[in-house]
Structure 1
Amino acid sequence: MAADLARPPVCRYVGPRIRLSGGHARLLPVAPVPDGMVAGRFSVLSPGTERRHLAASNGPDGVRDAGYMTIGGDESAGWVLAAVPHGAAFDPSRSGTLAAPPGTSVQVAALARFQQMAVLGLEQLPARVELDGTVVVGSGPVALGCALELCRQGAGRVRVLTSRSQATIRLVPGVECVTAVDQASARLVVDATGRPRRAAMLLASGGTLGLLGTPAPGSVLPSLSLHRSGWTVIGMHELTALATGRYADAYMAAAAWLRWHLDPGLVDAWCLITPGTHAPALYAGLGGPGQPAEPVVIFSWEV
């Protein structure tokens, strides 16, 4: 069962628009949309995941279709989201497909997907853990979703550890961007970068580490420090809830809160909608100074 839950949702698709090979992204032509499938009108970039996939594409068997989440449907009826490659048409009836409430903007629909991860991840924490004062490591879309969910749950102060002091995540109510946190000082640290060893060093004795970002396969934690300090380590992968109603419920809760409780101008500040034709250049700049300031990048595949 655990191995099954670790797999991405199975979702049939056709017509991916971006392919990775040799460390580069290239565009693929538009394909017809089969009957019964939903056209991919937008798709969402996941910078950390796609940087790893881009690097892996340099290998002899590295060619792969790129993508994290594609969005079809429309705003009035409600966007439909599926874990399929960028811009692909997909079967909306397959497991793991999410539906946004009617009237939700595409920006909120995309942002809620990242917040959903934190909704489900924070539910794994022991009841005794205090959310106020949480340290979130990272300032990308996964970290932003976490900061938003901490705000929704009433955390009045959240420190975001990032080298980018002016990152737009600072606009989340209660968030302070910092470039350093004292070691062994935090009761709760959520790593949103996939580098848990660095995050673990910030934990106080008896503290809790949440693994929200996906670690690299070879990542290790200092087991002796973990043992002596009495740390609790929580895996926060959202697919552990896929077989339950909580998976869709968490997404709906995030989307509704973003829509009704936050200034739309804030959502716009966190989201960039750009033509899908810009994808090769954006992939080339991932992780560098040319990466967009907005943490949530949405490709538009509108003709």
Structure 2
Amino acid sequence: MSTTPKTIQIFLPGGSPTGIRVAEITTRIVQVIDVPRKLLSDFLEMPESNEVAVYFLVGESDDGTELNVYVGQTGDLRKRLAKHDADKPFWERALVLISRTKSLTQTHGLFLEWCSLQAIRKVKRYTDLNGNGGSRPHTPAPMEADCLEVFETARTLLATLGHPMFDPVVQAPQDTPPQDYLFCTVSGVDGRGLYTQEGFVVLAGSVGRKENMQSIAGTSNASFRDKLVANGTLSVNGDAVVFTKNHLFRSPSMAAVALLGTTANGWNVWKDKDGKTLDALKRQAIGT
């Protein structure tokens, strides 16, 4: 994602920050409308619901461990979303991409749908529920250039609204300065991670304990680790588990629990190459 400064405007048609939100970069024609499922009928009365659109239905899995998304495009948004309300129980919000100048066609929509699915599957933040993503649609070169510009705008707006589904959880490891790595290396555990703006990322290839320690047996932490194995984030390898991909945790402590199989204070467990704890590097350093 570009690091160029941007001005983003978010309009609240109902006046509530938890209601329908309309986001746009002020110099561009693209809008993303964030619609809570409960307010779908309100959105379907808005003129924006009568546009050609690409849409993203998003929701958490029942156990809260996965984010799911369904991507679609349509020239009849009202009918399509009403149908999804009736036959797709998983979603909690619809994120609708339209053009303020009514310039999107269904040819644009087909390419943007395909492009979105490729990005979602590459970064693996969200699990897409589309099934077969299809082949790359034939799109004239000038229109494809327009679509890629729309896609980049959508990437920024979706992330601003809390859904960075096209963005890797961390930059490529080879681009990360060695001094930024943090390590968890106790009792056969060999974890490597990064403290980011979104939380703590344990990097692919990190090795943890397979078995849960007595301190978490039968607790939510044990269930949490089991779910990471069940969804493929952790792969069992003998007496160990190995991270199959970079995985974002909300806190350093949950990242440590996933590796160690026991309760842990991640601020003290994660250390840099010189042995300084994350707590010393980030929390104690504030104000010094």
State TM-score, norm by structure 1: 0.23
Ranked by relative contact order (alpha carbons within 8 Å, sequence separation 6 or more), the top structure is 1
State TM-score, norm by structure 2: 0.23
- Higher Cα radius of gyration: 2
